[in-house]
Amino acid sequence: MKANDFSDLKAEFDAFVREKCDTGSCESEGNENDPDNEPVPSFVDELTDKLLAPYHCGAYFSRLDIKRVAEAIDESIPIKERKKMIKALFRHTTSKEYLRKAFDEFNRHFGGRILIYQELSEAFPASKEIFDDNIAKIKKTQKILDQIVEDFEEIESTFDPMMI
C-alpha cells in the first residue's frame, strides 16, 4: 500500500466520523434494559474505586481475577470492563453472607499477592520498601472490606419498601 492510499483511507474515516458521530448518533444511548445501568448498592462505587486502583489497594485485579472471584462464589458474570464486572458481582447483594464470601475470595487473592511481594522483597532487597508499602495498602483494603461487611444492612425479600 502506498502512502497516498493511507491518506485517502484516513480522509474517508474522518468523513465517516464527522457524518455519524458529530450528529450524536454514535453516542451510546442508555438502554433501560441494559443490566449495566441497573442500580447498585451504595458501597459498590467506593469499593470499585478502591479495588481497581493498585495505588489504593496495593494489588492489580485483572478481569480474569474478578471472573475467578465470581466463579469461586458460584456467580456467573460476563467478562467486560473491570468496573462493570465488579458492579455485576455486587449488584444483587442482599445478605452479609454473600458479601463475606465475595470478600473472603478477594482476601484470598490479596494473600497470594502478599506472598509474591514478600518473595520479591527478599529477592530484591533494594525494592523492599515498595513491596512493604503495597502490603500495607492491601491490609488497609482488607480492613475496609471487613468494615463494609460490618456496616451492611441485610435486605429481606419480605421487606415492604413503603414501610422502611
Q: What phi-psi label fits residue 149: left (phi over 0), alpha (psi between -120 and 50 degrees) or beta?
A: alpha
Tens of pLDDT, residue by residue over 110-123, are: 999 999 999 999 99
pLDDT of residue 35: 56
**8 A C-beta contact, residue 97 and residue 149:** no
Asked if residue 10 has pLDDT above 60, the reply is yes
Tens of pLDDT, residue by residue over 58-68, are: 999 999 999 99
Band of residue 36 on the pLDDT scale cut at 50, 70, 90: low
Asked if residue 164 has pLDDT above 60, the reply is no
pLDDT of residue 42: 75
DSSP string, 80-110: --HHHHHHHHHTT---HHHHHHHHHHHHHHH
Q: Work out the average pLDDT over 39-50.
A: 82
How much of the chain exceeds pLDDT 90, in percent?
A: 55
